[in-house]
């Protein structure tokens, strides 16, 4: 609502009087209503002309294609999808490399397990062979054999005196 509108609702009487004095000092005279109560023939004709011109322009205005706007809106989505695609492709290659490495490690473990099993089998076979030889030797020799293999060690009878060195002198 403009300041010069006299139809203000909640305005004290002092403000109304002050505004009237100010209007007289400025030489504006009495305030006429900004909107006429009834439209004149000129205003009606002008409104009709404006309406017709707007309709004509809306019919003759070249419509802009919306595909350009859609393409511009789709560019960030396409960039995000391309980024996700390259990331997924890298992750797939990484997973394939890790799977190949795991498979190589499994093959190596299988080979080591087979090698260990063959060594254990050779040791068992050697142990059984020694047991059989001991049993045969005990039957032939008449000596009581021990349940385990004894390796004889030659011990020197006497320690030679040349082998040591004196640390302290005798008092």
Mapping DSSP onto H, E and C, the string for the chain reads CCCCCCCCCCCCHHHHHHHHHHHHHHCCCCCCCCCCCCCCHHHHHHHHHHHHHHHHHHHHCCCCCCHHHHHHHHHHHHHHHHHHHHHHHHHHHHHHHHHHHHHHHHHHHHHHHHHHHHHHHHHHHHHHHHHHHHHHHHHHHCCCCCCCCCCCCCCCCCCCHHHCCCCCCCC
CA distance 59 to 5: 41
Please report, rounded to a whole number, the percentage of residues in the chain having pLDDT higher than 70: 77
Contact 4, 23 (CB under 8 A): yes
Predicted confidence at residue 159, as pLDDT, reads 56
Predicted confidence at residue 16, as pLDDT, reads 82
pTM passes above 0.85: no
C-alpha 62: how far from chain center: 47
Structure tokens at 119: 């060594």
Return the higher-pLDDT residue of 42 and 29. 42
Place of tokens 């990331």: 87
Predicted confidence at residue 2, as pLDDT, reads 60
Residues 31-79 have pLDDT tens digits of: 655 555 688 899 899 999 999 999 888 887 677 778 888 889 999 999 9
Q: Average pLDDT of 104-108?
A: 97
Predicted confidence at residue 27, as pLDDT, reads 83
Return the higher-pLDDT residue of 29 and 118. 118
pLDDT band for 109, please (50, 70, 90 cuts): very high
């Amino acid at each position: 609502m403009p300041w010069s509108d006299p139809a203000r609702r909640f305005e004290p009487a002092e403000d109304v009087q002050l505004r009237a004095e100010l209007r007289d000092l400025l030489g504006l005279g009495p305030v006429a209503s900004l909107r006429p109560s009834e439209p004149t023939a000129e205003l009606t004709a002008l409104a009709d002309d404006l309406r017709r011109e707007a309709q004509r322009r809306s019919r003759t205005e070249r419509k802009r294609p919306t595909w350009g706007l859609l393409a511009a809106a789709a560019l960030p989505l396409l960039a995000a999808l391309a980024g996700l695609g390259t990331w997924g492709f890298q992750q797939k290659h990484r997973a394939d490399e890790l799977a190949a490495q795991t498979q190589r490690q499994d093959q190596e473990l299988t080979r080591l397990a087979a090698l260990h099993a063959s060594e254990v089998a050779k040791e068992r076979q050697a142990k059984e062979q020694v047991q059989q030889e001991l049993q045969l030797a005990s039957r032939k020799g008449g000596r009581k054999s021990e349940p385990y293999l004894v390796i004889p060690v030659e011990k020197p009878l006497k320690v030679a005196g040349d082998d040591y060195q004196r640390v302290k002198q005798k008092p």
